[in-house]
Structure 1
Amino acid sequence: MLFSLHKKSLITFYFSILRPCFVLSQANMSSGIEDAGKFSVAYVTVPTVEVARSMGHGLVKNKLAACVNVIPQITSIYEWDDQIKEDSEALLMIKTRTSEVDRLIEFVRTKHPYTVCEVISLPIQNGNPPYLKWIGESVPVKDYTSNV
C-alpha cells in the first residue's frame, strides 16, 4: 500500500510539475526566445488600401520592414475634436527589427496623409526561429556610428 501511494505521488508530481516545466523549457528553446525583443511588429492605420500598399512597398524597399501585411476594411472608432468618429481604414502589420522602429516611424510620418498618424510597435517575445532569422536577414543591422 505504501509503495502504491508513493508511486501515485511520483506520477502526480511528474505530470503536475516536472513535465510542464520540461515542455515549457523545450518550447522556449525551439521557438526563438533567445531573440526576444530583437524584432518588433508595428501597426499603422491608413485611409485606403492603395495608401497601405504604397507605404508597404516603400518600407520593404527601404529595408525598414521584412514584411508588411495589409489588412483591408477595418473600422476605427475614436474621439477627435470632441466628437466620436467612425472610419473605414486599412491596417498595416509590419515586421521589423526593434532597432529600426524609430526610422520606420519617421518614414511613415513623412508619407502618411493624416496629420496625426497611428504608428505603434510591440516587441516580438517569441516566434518561429527561421521566420525571425528571415526578418533579421531582410532588415539588416544599420551601423550609425560610421557616419560620425
Structure 2
Amino acid sequence: MIFKNIIITTIVLSLRRSFSMATNSSLPGTFSVAYVTVPNEELAKTLAKGLVREKLAACVNIIPRITSIYEWKGEIQEDNELLLMIKTRTSRVDELTKFVRENHSYEVCEVISLPIEKGNPPYLKWLGEIVHESQ
C-alpha cells in the first residue's frame, strides 16, 4: 500500500511538473515589453540588432518621430527621438538594461518595462523559444 501511494504521488508530481512547464510561457508576467528612447535611427538599429543577436529580445520595433518633453538639469527640454519597443522575458530585463546602458549615447538612458499580462499564445511561445530564461 505504501509503495502504491509513493508511485501515485510520483506520477501526480510528474504530471504537475509537465503541465507547469507546458503552460509556463503563458503565465502573466513571464514576458515584458521594455521601452527605450534613442536620438537617431543609427543607434536604434545598433541597439535593436545587438539585443536580438544577444538573445535579450525576440523582437524590437523601432517607432520613428516621437517628441519627448522632459526636465533635464533644471531646464525643460524638447527632443525628436525614436522609441524602441522591445519584447523579452521579464527575467532578462536587468541584462537588457545593462546592455542598453553600455551601448547608449545618453548620459542617463530610458529603460522601462511593463509585464505582458496576456497575448497571442503562439506569439508568446515563439518569444519564449527565442529568449531563454536568465541563468
Q: What TM-score, normalized by structure 2, do the two folds share?
A: 0.80
1:50-129 correspondence to structure 2 within 5 Å: 50-129=42-121
Cα distance in 2 for partners of 1:43, 1:59 equals 13
| Structure 1 residues not aligned, in runs of 5+ | 1-31, 144-148
Aligned residues of 1:67 and 1:94 also touching (Cα < 8 A): yes
The corresponding residue for 1:137 is 129
1:5-84 correspondence to structure 2 within 5 Å: 34-84=26-76
Aligned residues of 2:26 and 2:125 also touching (Cα < 8 A): no
Q: Deviations over 1:80-108 (max 9, x none)?
A: 11111100001000000000000000000
The corresponding residue for 1:21 is none
Aligned residues of 1:75 and 1:88 also touching (Cα < 8 A): yes
Aligned residues of 1:33 and 1:126 also touching (Cα < 8 A): no
Q: Counterpart of 1:117 in 2: which secondary structure?
A: coil
* One-letter identity of the residue aligned with 1:81: K
Aligned residues of 1:33 and 1:125 also touching (Cα < 8 A): no
Percent identity at matched positions?
64
Cα distance in 1 for partners of 2:26, 2:67 equals 36
Aligned residues of 1:33 and 1:127 also touching (Cα < 8 A): no
Aligned residues of 1:40 and 1:97 also touching (Cα < 8 A): yes
Count of residues paired in the alignment: 112
Aligned residues of 2:55 and 2:130 also touching (Cα < 8 A): yes
Q: CA deviation at 1:142?
A: 3.3
| Structure 2 residues not aligned, in runs of 5+ | 1-23
Aligned residues of 2:25 and 2:125 also touching (Cα < 8 A): no
Please identify the structure whose Cα radius of gyration is greater: 1
